[in-house]
Each structure stands twice: as C-alpha cells, then as structure tokens.
Amino acid sequence: MGGRWVIDAEPGRARRSAGRRLSAKSFDLLARYVDGERQDLDPDQRRRAKERLRIIREHGIAQVGRYAERPDLRIERFRASPEDVAELRSRSDLALTGISHPSAEVYGDVVDAYVSPAVRDELELFHLLIPADEGEANVVLRVQDPPPVVRTLHVIADLHDDPSSRSRTEAQRLLARVLERAE
C-alpha cells in the first residue's frame, strides 16, 4: 500500500484499497457526470466518472465520503454570532452546500459553503470568525480555488461530513435519489 508492504493482522479478511484520493477537479467532474451534465466531458473523463459512479453504487455513501476527501480542499470550522451567520448566508461569493444548501432538507443556524482562499481571509477578518471544534462550529468553510459550482454530489458528501445524524440520513436519501436517476 502506497509503496510499502503491509501485513494484515487478519489475513483471512480481504482488503480492498480505496485507491488514491480524488483531486477537487476530478470530484467536480464526477459531480457533473452524476447530475447528467456529460456533454462537456471528454471521453476519458466520462469513462472515469462512469466507473466511479459504478463504485459508488457498489459501496454506497462510504465511497462518496472517500471520494470527498480531496487533498486540495481545506475544511475550516468557525464560530460566529447569529447576526454574522445570517449575513454570511446571504453573500453571493459563497457557494452554499451541505446543511445550508436548499436541496438538503436539513435546516439549522449553520453556514456550510465553498469559498476561495481570498474570500475566506476576508470573511475571517470582517465577521470576526473564531476557530472552533466540529461540535461547536456554526460556520464551515470549504476552501477551494476556485470554488466549485455546487452540485448534488457536493451536497451529499458535505452532509455526510456533518456530525449530525439528521444530516447523514439526508445524505443517504439524496444519494438514493441520485442513483435512481443516474444511468
């Protein structure tokens, strides 16, 4: 694994490598494919996305979680005042996702959004965002350059990343709906 030999403590159990993590660009292409926006993908991108979708069908939400672990995506959690949360939710330079996305039927006083590094720095200063642990955060910034167009797979992955059981249940529901309509 990763160029090293590994001896499994349970040799009878078969292990399947999750493979290399997807880049943000590859995840975004997969999300476009899942949403049926395939016309701009070249044949190799379509083939890879189709195979990754097959693996998602086989392994479910856990595979979406593995694909969502993008090495070029930084997730930062903050605490903000209720007034600042309301202001953040209305900003046009944030791409709302997860619990904050309209397609997720989970409602709460949390902002979960993709943002560029420059906007992230501005937000922290202007809104006096205080770094927080996962359970205390009411602002989750997913720093990616450039931020993606948020698609259903982004919302599913980001709901699955949320510690709330309600969010994880909604991620499962959305994934089932996506798999029904995807080829």
Helix then strand then coil, % of the chain, to nearest 5: 45, 10, 45
pLDDT tens digit sequence for 130-177: 999 998 999 999 999 999 999 999 999 999 999 889 999 999 999 999
Alpha-carbon separation of residue 82 from 15, 86, 88, 134 (angstroms): 46, 6, 10, 17
The residue that leads in pLDDT, 182 or 89, is: 89
Question: Domain check: are 110 and 157 in the same one?
Answer: yes
pLDDT over 70 percentage in the chain: 89
Q: How many helices (H) and strands (E) would you count in the chain?
A: 7, 5
State residue 7 phi and psi, 5-degree precision: -105, 120
How high is the mean pLDDT of the chain?
90
Residue linked to tokens 């991620």 = 171
pLDDT tens digit sequence for 96-114: 999 999 999 877 789 999 9
Number of domains in the chain: 2
Question: Domain check: are 79 and 169 in the same one?
Answer: yes
Rg (CA), the chain: 18
Segment holding 136, helix H or strand E: none
What pLDDT score was predicted for residue 163? Answer: 87
Domain that holds residue 44: 24-68
Question: Domain check: are 36 and 88 in the same one?
Answer: no
pTM above 0.75, yes or no: yes
In this structure, of 86-90, 106-110, 116-120, the range with the lowest mean pLDDT score is 106-110
Question: Domain check: are 36 and 107 in the same one?
Answer: no
Question: Domain check: are 38 and 109 in the same one?
Answer: no
